[in-house]
Structure 1
Amino acid sequence: MALLFFGGHVLSEILMNEWWLVILLVVLAVFACTLITYPLRRNRLVSLLLAPIIFIMVFTGYYFWGDFARWQEYLHRNEAQELAQSMLKSIKSPQELIDKLKAKLDAQPESAKGWYLLGRLYSSQKDNQNASLAFAKAHQLKPEDEQFAVNYAHSLWQLSNQQFNPDILEIFHTLLKNNPRQPDALAMLAMHAYLSHDYEAAINYWQRLLQLAPAQSEEALAIRKAIAKAEKQINRGGKKSDR
């Protein structure tokens, strides 16, 4: 069993190497060329002309129909993942990872993704102040990215003791304007409307959010309960929306 595992591991290592794949393709092309040109061996000129054509056809065919480009992309992605995993193994604490990422961003401050990841790391450490600053940079560099905008707005909401302010509302309204089915914006604006006693607006947002949730999911059940609660407030004479 151990030998089988070792043999399988070695084989996978060989196949994962794109140069072995190229060599194997060359061998197959030579073999195909020999088979095709052998009957024409007496006509040396025809054989010499056919050989390069066969090679070109084999390599072109494999490139377009054999997914060679996708295979290379897979190899390079695997290498990047292995490098990232090796870096993570060498890191002893989240703070060390934060420090390394900050050093990278000092050298490449235009990386919106980098600032976003830094914000997520700060959030995991409950450092809301620095998380908000990092998310702000990511949002400034790439304002069209929904996830950056959502995390930035949410970090501002956390900083303001989970209270809404005009800046937070503007971000969520912009998100909803650009994408009427943006779930985070619908949920947060529904919450704001309910807390502001604008129950009809809250119901409207929740009904739109309900359309995005699987019918029998826990999320759908929670949204229906929220709608029912808002409807009770309206029946008790709560404030209604003009919208």
Structure 2
Amino acid sequence: MLEVGFETLLLLLAAGFVAGFMDAVAGGGGLITVPILLLTGANPITALATNKIQGLFGAGTAALAYARGGHVNLREQAPSALIAFAASIAGALLVTVLPTGWIRMILPFLLIGIAVFFATKKGLGDLDRHRRMTPLVFAATMVPLCGAYDGLLGPGAGSFYMLAFVTMAGYGILKATAHTKLLNFASNAGALLAFSLVATPWWFTGIAMGIAQIGGAALGAKVAQNKGARIIKPLLVVTSVSLALKLLWDMI
């Protein structure tokens, strides 16, 4: 029933575990899973769709872990998650009509900008800062923008959610990370729903990778809650720069 051989599956399971850890802490797990899915024979659309399947497990696990740790109230965040879900579907359906080329060209530089911001901005820690938007305005603007991007292209969506929570909602690093996960889960689900209509995801492989993601995400959330900004900030910087470099390499 699996779409790949046993040895290939073991490689994908290992990739899923590591990606789950990275996503739970700072995002960027797709840097690992999408290239490996491509190497195992998936076409680009299948790889992206399968990545959404396994990413659901990691994001969901991390969201629950942070909620149990008292860093986020998932029930209060449910309306924003529904907005992210709907926006992601809209973004995925707009792929065929919107000119995404220019977004791909500026995306690496946006990610490098995010990395520079988190690496150099003074005062960024686990304490909340000045809020520039009310929760209602944030849910009506930042959430659908990030959700639509996740459906439209996807790479770096977690970094954009994080940046929005830190700069606009005024959240500390750990709190921002915790609040990112449910929205990431919702926008992954929306994009997967859209992909399933136009692509052929590797469902069994994606679910198997998702099970491995659960272990990685649980460990990552535990480490992040213990270390806070001390580990989240540097890993976020590294993943943002790595993703930017990969996107630039793909353009060559």
- Which structure has the higher relative contact order (CA within 8 Å, separation 6+)? 2
With normalisation by structure 1, the TM-score equals 0.19
